Structure 1
Amino acid sequence: MILEAVFLYVKPELAHEFETDFAKASQYISSIDGYLRHRLEKCLEIENKYLLLVEWNTLEDHTIGFRTSEAYLEWKKILHHYYEPFPIVEHFETVFENQKNN
């Protein structure tokens, strides 16, 4: 499993519209083969900062499968105008994990 992590800085006056459009755009990313799940987190300290986390089966599911798809063009049309500056996308793989047992 590959974790895509992206800090998104949304133009402050557009935060509410961004959250609404993000929910709409989610149908496009979730339609891609190799997509597992995603979530959007809102920063508590910085009002217009979000963290997008997407889980993919492989790196190529994101970089080729999604990024070269018609679905990505729709995602881009709906969301990319909200960002200032444009985000940097990074990918991670787990090297250690721990979980509290109840």
Structure 2
Amino acid sequence: MILEAVMLLVKPGLKSDFEATFKEASKIISSMDGYLSHELHKCIEIQGKYLLLVRWETLESHTVGFRSSTEYQEWKKLLHNFYEPFPTVEHFEEIEI
């Protein structure tokens, strides 16, 4: 399992629109092959800051399968205009402790 972690900074005044649009966009990502689950968290201390966590079966499920799909183009069209600056996406794998 791969955990995609993205810190999202939503432009001022767009919080409500972003949250509503994200609900719609969630249907897109959750339909993808290799998708396991996702969560969106709102920061308490910083207005407009969100943490998106997406669990994928493999790294390629996200970086190849999702990002090269027509569904990703729709995801981008819905969400990418909300962010400033554009977020950095990082991937993590769990370690045994």
Sort the TM-score into its range (normalised by shorter chain): over 0.9
Q: How far apart are residue 31 of structure 1 and its match? A: 1.1
1:8 and 1:15 mapped to 2: Cα distance?
11
Aligned to 1:5: 5
Q: How far apart are residue 96 of structure 1 and its match? A: 3.8
1:15 and 1:96 mapped to 2: Cα distance?
37
Aligned to 1:66: 66
1:26 and 1:12 mapped to 2: Cα distance?
22
State the SS of the aligned residue for 1:13.
coil
Q: Structure 1 residue 16 and structure 2 residue 20: aligned?
A: no
Residue segments in structure 1 that go unaligned for 5+ positions in a row? 98-102
Q: Give CA-to-partner distance per residue, 1:56-83, whole Å, 9 cap, x none.
A: 0000000000000011000000000000
| Structure 1 residue ranges, 4+ long, deviating more than 2 angstroms after superposition | none
Q: CA RMSD in A?
A: 0.8
The one-letter amino acid of 2:3's match is L
Identity of aligned residues (%): 64
What TM-score, normalized to structure 1? Answer: 0.93
What TM-score, normalized to structure 2? Answer: 0.97
Residue segments in structure 2 that go unaligned for 5+ positions in a row? none
Aligned to 2:53: 53
Q: How many residues align?
A: 97
The one-letter amino acid of 2:85's match is P
